[in-house]
Homo-oligomer: A and B are copies of this chain.
Amino acid sequence: MTSSNAHSPNTQPYTFSQRAQKITSSTIREILKVTERPEIISFAGGLPAAKGFPVDTISAAFERVLSRNGRTALQYGPTEGYAPLREWVTQDLKRVGATDVNINQVLIVSGSQQALDLLGKLFIDPGSKVLVEAPSYLGALQSFSLFEPDYVAVPTDEHGLVPEGLTDERVAGARFIYALPNFQNPTGLTLNLERRKALVKRCAQANVPIIEDDPYGDLRYAGEALPGLLGLGREVGATVIRLGSFSKVLAPGLRLGYIVAPEAIISKLVQIKQATDLHTATLTQMAVYEAIQDGFLNFHLPAVRDIYKEQCGYMLEAMQQFFPADAHWTRPEGGMFIWVTLPEHINAYELLERAIKQNVAFVPGEPFYAGAEPKRNTMRLSFVTVSEERIREGIEILGRLIAETAISKAA
């Protein structure tokens, strides 16, 4: 609190902003602290598989950039990003059906998480309505929350977001809808083509911009690739802001991603980014461009997809064997996560407490909900970084604990 008497100094050493006072420690953060212990079998993480990182290619790219253009790579650069990398993005977007994007519609950012921060700054005033899937990506909720929106949840079912849920009342005055159409975090669900078309059509009609977050789109290992919302949206006049990331296709430790949006939005975002961190590291942008310019990802991604497919298979197989019949879960076509719906009377936090005592960890579903009553009988499992053997071991333990909980509650 600040002093109300303009002539007396503060009586506390410092005063935090309202938004900072509202921040509480993240549940996932606290859980991850426990999961750092090596004996823990952790399905809680969101880490990509390090064995898929193309270390040699990246190393060679940094070496070439520094030896050929060292001084440019180490100097300040334009806020918009490194032009050849932005041009690469415009070309790459053709794969997801967006054929007419130009370089002025692309802003390079320091990882997709930064895109969320910049978009929060651009669109959210305290109390602004923001539409999110229920459940949605926790990191986005945390990022947007710094700007104090009012979340309104869009209904979802076993196929993901339900476009018919975008009623007049829900969309009225909404600053944007945030959606992850491919292998959603946390559910692993993919929006089918019919729903994608219905979503962009509805948002175009209602003048609600769509933020399409697609960090996992290139990690599809089953089913057929679908066009992104960006391209579909342009056909019907929707405003679509697409977020892309190099974290899963190359490596997250580089912190590199991009935003694609209409020029009027990008030019405002450029001013916001300039105030936020001037620009993303020049060297990193040049090295990533050096690594991927010749089609490297075409060779690299199939190997990465194989890793994820195999890992996902291990977990689905173990769940089939060890989970009780009254638990249900998603079968992702890509990405990193499986979403489990437990019998209704099981609280996933209580299950987690018992699981950690047996050295198994996961993330309860509750923190992924905003603007809606959370389903406390849900949990997110990541299958990416655990060995086959330990996946089986951990899932067996979880299956037994779920069955025991069901029995004890019934008794």
Q: List the interface of chain A (C-beta within 8 A of B).
A: 2-3, 5-20, 23, 25-26, 29, 46-48, 50-51, 53, 55-56, 58-59, 62-63, 66-67, 70-77, 110-111, 113-114, 117, 121-125, 128-129, 139, 142-143, 145-147, 168-169, 171-176, 205-209, 239, 247, 250-255, 265, 268, 271-272, 274-284
Contacts and interface: CB of A to CB of B under 8 A. Distances in A.
6 contacts: A2-B173, A9-B168, A20-B268, A53-B71, A75-B253, A117-B275
Contact of A278 (B12, B15, B16, B139): B139
B123 A272 contact: no
A275 B116 CA distance: 9
B76 A253 contact: yes
Contacts of A176: 14
Given A9-B168, A169-B7, A53 B70 contact: yes
Nearest to A45: B76
Closest 3 pairs between A and B when the two form their complex, measured CB to CB: A55-B70, A74-B251, A253-B282
Nearest to A3: B173
B47 A168 contact: no
A144 to B, nearest CB: 9
Which of A123, A168, A205, A275 has the most chain B CB atoms closer than 10 A to its own CB? A275
A74 B254 contact: yes
A145 B173 CA distance: 25
A124 to B, nearest CB: 6
Contact of A283 (B128, B129, B147, B253): B253
A279 B32 CA distance: 15
Contacts of A55: 66, 70-71, 74
A28 B311 CA distance: 51
A112 to B, nearest CB: 9
A102 B25 CA distance: 22
A76 B47 contact: yes
Contacts of A171: 9-10
Contacts of A282: 253
A252 B13 contact: no
B62 A207 contact: no
A6 B72 CA distance: 52
Contacts of A278: 111, 113, 139, 255
